[in-house]
Amino acid sequence: MSELRDECGIAAVYHLPSESPSPLCPEQGIEHASRLVPRMLLDIQNRGQLAAGFTTFNPNRNQLIDTHKDVGSVTEVFRLAHRAGCESLMQEYAGRAAIGHVRYATCGKDDRSYAQPFERHHLLKYKWFSFAFNGQLANYQTLRQRLLSDSDHHLARETDTEIMMHEISREFSGDLRPRLIDAMRRVSQRFDGAYSLVFLNAEGDMLVARDPLGIKPLCYAKEGPLFAAASESVALLNLGFQAENIKSLLPGQAITIQQGQFEITRYSTSGQRAHCFFEWVYFANVASSLDDRGVYLSRTALGRELARLEREHDSVVLDRDTIVVPVPDTSKAAADAMAFQLGLPCMEGLIRNRYSGRTFIEGGEGRRRKAETKYTPLREVLAGKRVLLVEDSIVRSTTMRVLLNRIREFGGAREIHVRVACPPIIAPCFYGIDMSTIGELFAPAFLKDGPLTEEVQAAMARELGADSLRYLPVESIPRAIGFDSDQLCQACITRRYPTPAGQELFEQALENVRNGQDSGRTYEPSGEPLGCRS
């Protein structure tokens, strides 16, 4: 599913006041707790490879909070492959608290100014802050137009990150000096969408918050004086936190650190939940556990669902010439489980070239050519075999078409039967996944508001060039993940959105299709890149 990308990941660390440093703190001491952030960002780089950055707090320097960010991977931005360069950077930005971000964007320029965190300078320390977030505001256009309705206002960038920065700033305007939790409570009433965010000001106050629906994941841990948070648990586990101390922040909860006091508080009373199901299907690191559901176990459960369907339909000969092949890398757990249940070998018939570049930032022909160099079929594994090819999802179908052609032409497979560990993607996402129009999706043209029948899947298979194609049904998803369906955001496979602005954008997307105006992103008027996934 190399065509589909989430947009970013966040991290935070804070060494609370203490006479002795945490055992997990760098050997340089408390004021170097910020060194932990690049390590954390490496573990969540699966969530964004376009840019990276961090902001650190140190009361003993003139720049109380200071931000380093740039376009590039975590290794490039923080010079991790250059020992002297990295050490110099870590010394310059040493701090007892820090927030960090990795970014993949779907609009805006690929330059440093769009990288996060965003820092807002001010003479007053409590108004001088930096923040970063994972998600997307579905009501971005409404907020933007409201800000620009005042002719004195100007927005320098085409991104919802800047909108959020101004909305947060408004909470501290004039002589207002609210508690961070109260400011979060008020801005959340103006936001419609997905947002897990981290905030740090020049007084050393920190806020870590998860949106009221819990669409995006956010994990945290605290052992002694050291606190850390990240989009995924694997970043905390690899720092050395004990697994039993790593928890998911509940939807509508925020962690605040003010005047050295650590507190977890609810800022929203909404009882609704809408966890993005794609976190378990594809986005999250397979070593992570989100909301008490292990990613690996969820993907193996999806594989068992595929095996159950295979037995029920009994349409493919399962003999010694039949093998299961995952599309690297995130399909492997599902493929292994499916193969085990069916008594078939799971073979690495496709080898991923990890240094071929990023296909998801290429458009059209560029994406296809990149996909051709990204996977190498192994003829010695595939030749003459009946292949059950397991994929996470089919979004635009560009990569799948390339794979099928290469497996036949260069791999010499006898038959290729595609098995998708996800239902068809039939609707855009307005909460931070890179698919925002109906026209770019593969499945809607075949389903046309009808059910997913064997005939429909056969037509899809012919279009792709596969011998057969089978998707998981919608009901398999909550069963595999372990949540009730009303606790998951499944808008892209059900067309039912968990927020009013999301549903309105979908109606606009349908109208765009009817009017033949489905070329630009749904939340962008006249094709101009006004919306952005942060």
Please identify every residue annotated as catalytic.
Answer: 8
Residue 136's φ and ψ, nearest 5 degrees, are -160, 140
Tokens standing for residue 37: 């952030």
Bridge partners, 80 (sequence order): none
The residue whose two tokens read 């070239």 is 353
Contacts of residue 188, Cβ cutoff 8 Å, sequence gap at least 6: 209, 211, 212, 267, 268
Cα(117)–Cα(125) distance, rounded to whole angstroms? 17
Contact between 239 and 36 (Cβ < 8 Å):
yes
Contact between 196 and 134 (Cβ < 8 Å):
yes
E strand residue ranges, 75-225: 97-103, 118-120, 129-137, 193-201, 206-210, 219-223
The residue whose two tokens read 């110099």 is 88
Bridge partners, 10 (sequence order): 101
What are the angstrom distances between the C-alpha of 260 and each of 19, 46, 241? 13, 32, 21
Contacts of residue 208, Cβ cutoff 8 Å, sequence gap at least 6: 12, 197, 198, 199, 218, 220, 229, 249, 254, 255, 256
Tokens standing for residue 158: 């085409």
Any alpha helices (H) in 253-329, and if so which ranges? 278, 295-313
Check residue 399 and report its DSSP letter: H
Cα(328)–Cα(349) distance, rounded to whole angstroms? 9
Any alpha helices (H) in 346-453, and if so which ranges? 365-374, 379-382, 398-409, 444-447
Helix axes 180-188, 160-170, angle to 10 degrees: 130
Cα(3)–Cα(396) distance, rounded to whole angstroms? 7
How would you write 412-431 as a 3-class SS string? CCCEEEEEECCCCCCCCCCC
Check residue 23 and report its DSSP letter: T
Contact between 341 and 378 (Cβ < 8 Å):
no
Cα(115)–Cα(104) distance, rounded to whole angstroms? 9
